[in-house]
A and B are shown apart, each in its own frame.
Chain A
Amino acid sequence: MAGFSELVKNFAKTRDYVLDFFIYGFKVRGDFSQKSARTYDDERRRVESWLGGFVRYDDSRRGRKISITVDSGHIPENPLYQAYDARSFTDNDIRLHFLLLDLLYDGQAQSLRQITDALIAEYEAVFDEQTVRGKLREYVSEGILTAEKRGKTTCFRLSPDTVDGFLERFPGLTPAVKFYSECGEFGIVGNRILKSAGLKNDLFLHKHAYIVHTLEDPLLCDICEAICAKRGIILSAGTTRKRAVSDASETDISEYRVIPLGIFISEQTGRRYLAAFVPEYRRFSSFRLDAVRKITLSDEAEDYDAIMAAFQKNLSRCYGVSFGLRRTPGIQEPLKVLFTADEETEQFFIERLFREKRNGTVTQIGKNLFQLTVDAFDPHEVMHWAKSCIGRIVSVSGGTKEIRERFTSDIRRMQAMYGGKTNDTVQ
């Protein structure tokens, strides 16, 4: 046990292990070859300690597999939020935190000198001014304290806004925070508010929740800051392709200088992307957030507004999250997928077409025949969706020859795979 701590300083490493346990769930100790066995054991123990009830063990010939298994639609709280509970700190950090809250309890403003002296006088706690100054500045930036100038002296006072005060003043906020703590962006912040107030979400469930997204939130925070300030970022990203079958190697990481413009989220594939402009190639591109390791803010982008305007214009041709590989849009023919559905008895499928067409158009072109037309940068994304309608696709035209041939070949291969004949009403 010597040397082991439940707490960590670096979230990124923890995130890697939780991803491997949660998403892949079949790796054994030997598969984590990039790190030492000791590191693996420590990270495994932390995950077990945080996520106890959701950890599953299976013994195989290759060794013991650890996975995190949970139906995320049936739980009131994302268990991975516990990773955020584990930030390490020093003894001085925690002592100073509670002493400062007590010292400034009355809401009166005090200078650094007054605070340092009072720490000694009232609590016999000796801290040098530099330590106290650093903590006061940090707490001003966190919004725990406010700073004000009195002549040449900066004075500090406790923020008058408390969690309990806000929840009492705005009664509708409690259920709202319970909802947003599990559904929507940065749910972890809502969870922190609930925990601070001693509350739990006992009202809402989130179907189709990808609980692992929370592990990307620190990166997402940096991206939002960059978008807000219209700044570029330097992105360090690895590969997701090899991750399922091997240990992600540090050598696979590449750096990109990009201008962030937004976040694309696929509710169906569970992936989130950074949508950005890549000045080097003069084109828009998307980067999977789960592959991003680090984000560093760079300079303000001079022509940010013009780039954002062009990006907004391009969105109308983005079916999913991809800007495709073409440099010049408009060369490729729009993709047309023709579906069959009985107008009398299969209205549910026609409704589905309209509900899920996104930026495509649906037109009835004959009895029981409905055509989806999409002029998309990446027709592969349209075909991935269209394959969820297997059993109803009459024809595929436009797009590229490769896409049409792949669809035909896929259906032949699937027919060989199943060779089934029984009836099933196709939704």
Chain B
Amino acid sequence: MTLFNEIYGAYFRIAERVLARKTVSDKEIHEIIAREGFRDSVLFVPQKLLPQSDGSDWGLLKRNPDGSLSRVMKHPPVKILTLLHKRWLKAKLADPRMTLFLPDEEFAALSAALADVQPLYQPAWFRYADRFNDGDPYTDPAYRSIFRTVLNALTTHRALDIDYITSRNKRIHRLFVPLRLEYSGKNDKFRLYCCSMSRSGQPKGALINLGRITAVKTAPVPKNGVLTVDEIFEARKCSQPVTVRVTQERNGTERFLMEFASYEKHTDFDQATGTLTVQLWYDQTDETELLIQLLSFGPVLEILSPPAFRARAAARVAKQYELLHKLQ
């Protein structure tokens, strides 16, 4: 049982999609390759799928008198749930978040169906060292009910009438159109990207912690246009990237690049000085989180710009310097 196996690969998938049809045209084959394959697959796969006079093809299709192609098999390929799939699903059954998706009866039925399967791993083997300890209450029936209502609205494209308490303890009650559920491993929380209508009727992006929702019910989608999740990302994106310089001291460059791998960024390495200059793009609402993360690198990293962002760092450092001097 291996992860890196051709049976899960792009070429097998292309063949499976082609063979799912009783007859298929050359054009359709090219379309399937373009959809399921890599950028250059169209250069390699057609000659293996289409019958060749020298027999160098895969022998899966035969040419009909009318020019179309038929599979040499009698049936469309069966898509088997492999042992790897089952072992992975069995491992997920031990994750408390799985109960958010499966009602009790369905959970029990799936557990029974996978009773003889050994899990791929046990969650206890994985230790999330720096995960925050106030994650969402996945086993709380009220939370589960809210999660399912939100998920249901998201999958059936309905709106939500949401009552929630903000981080500043303010109660909000409004109609929202759900767009995506976001999970943060660091916070161990779900948040809902959604669109609400401002008083002027203009659509506005919002991000709501599921743990802060006190009541929710589905509602029809309002007739006003809604934003897409990409439009919300764009609206929240910083106007200017943060530019930082990182030195090699304490393995700084490597540590930095790994830690900020999840950001959209542009890196430049100066071999003469051994320093790295990086531009990072970020969500404006995460600015403080980013600042904290950058400062934790200490003197190995310097925030160069924008000036306002650098000033925020400077202010914190100045406060810290004063605290140390008070002590001495």
Closest to A207 in B: B184
Across-interface contacts of B9 in A (CB, < 8 A) = 7, 84-87, 89
A212 at the interface (CB under 8 A from B): yes
Q: Provided the pairs A1-B43, A263-B126, A418-B313 are in contact, do residues A206 and B185 lie with their beta carbons within 8 angstroms?
A: yes
A318 at the interface (CB under 8 A from B): yes
Across-interface contacts of B255 in A (CB, < 8 A) = 269
A270 at the interface (CB under 8 A from B): yes
The one of A23, A95, A245 that contacts B58, using a Cβ cutoff of 8 Å = A95
The smallest C-beta distance from A79 to any residue of chain B, in angstroms, reads: 12
A245 and B298 within 8 A (CB)? no
B3 at the interface (CB under 8 A from A): yes
Interface positions, chain A 22-78, Cβ under 8 Å from B, are: 22-26, 45, 48-50, 52, 56, 58, 60, 62, 67, 69-74
The smallest C-beta distance from A383 to any residue of chain B, in angstroms, reads: 9
Across-interface contacts of A172 in B (CB, < 8 A) = 101-103, 106-107
Across-interface contacts of A341 in B (CB, < 8 A) = none
B81 and A26 within 8 A (CB)? no
B132 and A320 within 8 A (CB)? no
Complex CA gap A235/B294 in Å reads 33
The smallest C-beta distance from B225 to any residue of chain A, in angstroms, reads: 20
A-B contacts counted at CB < 8 A amount to 427
A26 and B101 within 8 A (CB)? no
B254 and A244 within 8 A (CB)? yes
The one of A45, A94, A197 that contacts B60, using a Cβ cutoff of 8 Å = A94
A427 and B74 within 8 A (CB)? no
The smallest C-beta distance from A123 to any residue of chain B, in angstroms, reads: 6
Across-interface contacts of B268 in A (CB, < 8 A) = 26, 60
B281 and A410 within 8 A (CB)? no
A356 at the interface (CB under 8 A from B): yes
9-residue interface stretch from A175-183, A251-259, A296-304? A175-183
The smallest C-beta distance from A10 to any residue of chain B, in angstroms, reads: 9
The smallest C-beta distance from A309 to any residue of chain B, in angstroms, reads: 14
Q: Provided the pairs A86-B9, A101-B77, A271-B258 are in contact, do residues A179 and B183 lie with their beta carbons within 8 angstroms?
A: yes
Q: Provided the pairs A98-B73, A99-B73 are in contact, do residues A203 and B180 lie with their beta carbons within 8 angstroms?
A: yes
A356 and B132 within 8 A (CB)? yes
Complex interface bits, A246-280 against B, C-beta within 8 A gives 1, otherwise 0 = 00000000000000001111111111000100000
The smallest C-beta distance from A155 to any residue of chain B, in angstroms, reads: 17
B263 and A71 within 8 A (CB)? yes
B327 at the interface (CB under 8 A from A): yes
A165 at the interface (CB under 8 A from B): yes
Across-interface contacts of A169 in B (CB, < 8 A) = 109, 113
A374 at the interface (CB under 8 A from B): no
B299 and A204 within 8 A (CB)? no
The smallest C-beta distance from A88 to any residue of chain B, in angstroms, reads: 7
Complex CA gap A270/B186 in Å reads 10
A287 at the interface (CB under 8 A from B): no
Interface size on A, residues (CB 8 A): 150
Across-interface contacts of A264 in B (CB, < 8 A) = 127, 129
Complex CA gap A321/B130 in Å reads 9
Closest to A290 in B: B258
A424 at the interface (CB under 8 A from B): yes
Across-interface contacts of A423 in B (CB, < 8 A) = 315
A98 and B8 within 8 A (CB)? no
Complex interface bits, B76-106 against A, C-beta within 8 A gives 1, otherwise 0 = 0111111111101101100101100111001
B28 at the interface (CB under 8 A from A): no
How many chain B residues sit at the interface, stated as a range, is 35 or more
Across-interface contacts of A394 in B (CB, < 8 A) = 323, 327
A315 and B127 within 8 A (CB)? yes
The smallest C-beta distance from A348 to any residue of chain B, in angstroms, reads: 8
A267 and B84 within 8 A (CB)? no
B327 and A105 within 8 A (CB)? no
Across-interface contacts of A205 in B (CB, < 8 A) = 180-183, 193, 229
A390 at the interface (CB under 8 A from B): yes
B198 at the interface (CB under 8 A from A): no
9-residue interface stretch from B33-41, B158-166, B210-218? B33-41
A385 and B79 within 8 A (CB)? no
The smallest C-beta distance from A48 to any residue of chain B, in angstroms, reads: 7
Q: Provided the pairs A87-B6, A172-B103, A415-B318 are in contact, do residues A141 and B83 lie with their beta carbons within 8 angstroms?
A: yes
The one of A85, A161, A412 that contacts B38, using a Cβ cutoff of 8 Å = A85
A340 at the interface (CB under 8 A from B): yes
A13 at the interface (CB under 8 A from B): no
A206 and B129 within 8 A (CB)? no
Across-interface contacts of B73 in A (CB, < 8 A) = 98-99, 101-102, 123
A208 at the interface (CB under 8 A from B): yes
Across-interface contacts of B317 in A (CB, < 8 A) = 390-391, 411, 414-415, 417-418, 420
B127 and A421 within 8 A (CB)? no
Complex CA gap A45/B39 in Å reads 10
A112 at the interface (CB under 8 A from B): no
B295 at the interface (CB under 8 A from A): yes
A243 and B254 within 8 A (CB)? yes
A210 at the interface (CB under 8 A from B): yes
B302 and A159 within 8 A (CB)? no
B3 and A189 within 8 A (CB)? yes
B262 at the interface (CB under 8 A from A): yes
B75 at the interface (CB under 8 A from A): yes
Q: Provided the pairs A24-B267, A420-B311 are in contact, do residues A165 and B155 lie with their beta carbons within 8 angstroms?
A: no
Closest to B131 in A: A267
A6 and B38 within 8 A (CB)? yes
A-B pairs with beta carbons under 8 Å apart, 18 shown? A87-B5, A98-B15, A102-B77, A143-B83, A161-B80, A162-B80, A170-B102, A172-B101, A185-B121, A204-B181, A207-B185, A209-B262, A244-B269, A262-B126, A269-B255, A390-B295, A417-B299, A424-B316
Residues of A within 8 A of B (CB): 1, 5-7, 11, 22-26, 45, 48-50, 52, 56, 58, 60, 62, 67, 69-74, 82, 84-89, 91, 93-95, 97-99, 101-102, 105, 123, 125, 141-144, 158-159, 161-166, 169-173, 175-176, 179-180, 183-186, 188-190, 192-193, 195-197, 203-212, 217-218, 221, 224, 227-228, 240-241, 243-245, 262-271, 275, 290, 315, 318-321, 340, 354-358, 384-385, 387-395, 408, 410-415, 417-424, 426-427
Closest 6 CB pairs of A and B: A420-B314, A143-B83, A102-B73, A391-B316, A85-B10, A418-B314
4 further A-B pairs in the complex, CB-CB below 8 A; given A180-B92, A240-B254: A185-B126, A192-B85, A207-B182, A354-B134
